Amino acid sequence: MGIVGQLILAYLAVLGFGLIINIPRHALNLAGWIGTLTWGFYLIVQAFDGGIVLGSFIGSVGIGVLSSLAARYKKMPSIIFNIPSLVSFVPGSQAYQMVRNFALGKYDQAVGFMLQVVVITGAIALGFLVAELLNQLIAFCRLRWQQVRS
Amino acid sequence: MTTDELIIATCLKAGKIMVENGSEISRVDDTMTRIAQNAGVVQANTYVTITGVMMSIQGRNATQIASVTKRTIDLEKVAQVNQLSREFAAQQIDLPTLHTRLGQLDQASRSFPLWLQLVGAALVSGPLMIMFRQETINTWPTVVIGTLGYLVFYLLNRYLKIKFLSELVAALFIGFAAEWAYQVGWGTNINDIIIGALMPLVPGVPLTNAVRDILAGNFVSGPARAVEALISAAALGFGIAVVITLF
């Protein structure tokens, strides 16, 4: 599975989730591109042995900033872009392993997976927080730039 | 209806539609206040929670409550309310028009047809399984079972109207179908099939909104949404756990 293949799959997955939660038609393509780009960030972090947690953090920062830019560009709420883009980062596989090991009675492994789920979810939340900070910084710079130009 | 009453009714309608369809609370608050300000109210108080929307106009005898009883996910409606609010702010439509347009929006559902949603489920389950697991042997069983699982969830949710029960049954279906696919030799790894097929049902929207609401300081709605997401996840997990312990 090459990098290009992964990026195409990320685009398709975001598109599919967008269809399920019914985002407006002309936002689908842009949401897909945000998903692809942030999965690219994730893959870059992976290539430098950054681990899943740092990858999810960088990815969610990217989703937060890009969604805000897309929201301003398309004049739509930003959740339309960031909810479908996030689908590739949801720790679904770890959550499933947690449930499976609890059901089978292997509690030590189950707790290990549970910690992974908690840490990844926390990284995504923290990423959103940092993205919010960057968004305000971008808005401030934009305001200043307009003041300087006029 | 007096002007005050119309303003409040319009704001409440907008807020109610947004909460019902999965918007985060701070955005609802913002939109309602904006509509009120553009309608000429200097100071409006809004109080938005996940189960009810309240609004009053400061200094006048006008307060109303709208309760939110059903919650689905339809981001198209959120975008439309946003669009209408923008048009009202730009004075392209007046207040009575805004009120009737919101009413129409509430009635009409412009969601994607079922077959396109099923294509969406197929696109979510297959690619995500490959991305998580880096292998393509189990792609077709995952896609088929994921699509059918979503169909089961959709149909049950339509006629049963209890979301958690529909999720439980859909998870049971996915588990048994994956077990069957493994038994007949169609798939090689039952865990991969189940992970992929569950992805369209994962409560991503409540979870994201819970985080955003909590970060925005809404300590009533954020935890409530987190509980909603947790119950969904528990329903899915329990369905799968039943199948795993049976075999």
pLDDT tens track for B62-91: 788 999 988 888 888 999 999 999 999 998
Average pLDDT in chain B = 88
Which region, left, alpha or beta, applies to residue B111 given φ > 0 means left and ψ of -120 to 50 means alpha? beta
pLDDT of residue B132: 83
Q: How far B57 CA sits from the closest chain A CA (Å)?
A: 26
* Chain B environment of A120 (Cβ under 8 Å): none
Cβ-Cβ contacts under 8 Å between A and B: the total is: 150
Q: What is the mean pLDDT of residues B98-124?
A: 87
Q: What is the mean pLDDT of residues B25-50?
A: 89
Band (pLDDT 50/70/90 cuts) for residue B113 is confident
CA B46 to chain centre: 22
* Chain A environment of B119 (Cβ under 8 Å): 16, 19
For residue B166, the number of C-alpha atoms closer than 13 Å in the C-beta half-sphere is: 17
Long-range contacts of B206-213 (CB under 8 A, 24+ apart): B206/B22, B206/B232, B207/A90, B207/A121, B208/A79, B208/A82, B208/A83, B208/A86, B209/A79, B209/B22, B209/B23, B209/B24, B211/A121, B211/A124, B211/A125, B211/A128, B212/A79, B212/A128, B212/B24, B212/B26, B213/B24, B213/B25, B213/B26
pLDDT of residue A94: 86
Band (pLDDT 50/70/90 cuts) for residue A1 is low
- Of A42-46, B133-137, B220-224, the poorest mean pLDDT is in B133-137
Residue B33 to residue B24: CA distance in whole angstroms: 15
Instruction: Read off the pTM.
Output: 0.88
Q: What is the mean pLDDT of residues A53-69?
A: 93
ipTM for the assembly = 0.86
The answer for B 127-146 residues in CB contact with A (under 8 A) is 127-128, 130-136
From residue A39, how far is each of A3, A10, A44, B180 by CA, in Å? Answer: 10, 7, 9, 33
Q: How far A148 CA sits from the closest chain B CA (Å)?
A: 26
Q: Is the pLDDT of residue A93 over 70?
A: yes
Task: Please answer yes or no on whether B79 and A24 come within 8 Å at the CB atom.
Answer: yes
| Most confident of the ranges B132-136, B207-211, B241-245 | B241-245
Residue in A15, A75, A95 closest to B123 by CB: A15
pLDDT of residue B14: 93
Which region, left, alpha or beta, applies to residue B52 given φ > 0 means left and ψ of -120 to 50 means alpha? beta
Q: What is the pLDDT of residues B129-184, one digit of tens each?
A: 888 888 888 889 999 999 999 999 999 988 887 888 999 999 999 999 999 999 99
Residue A44 in tokens: 């870059």
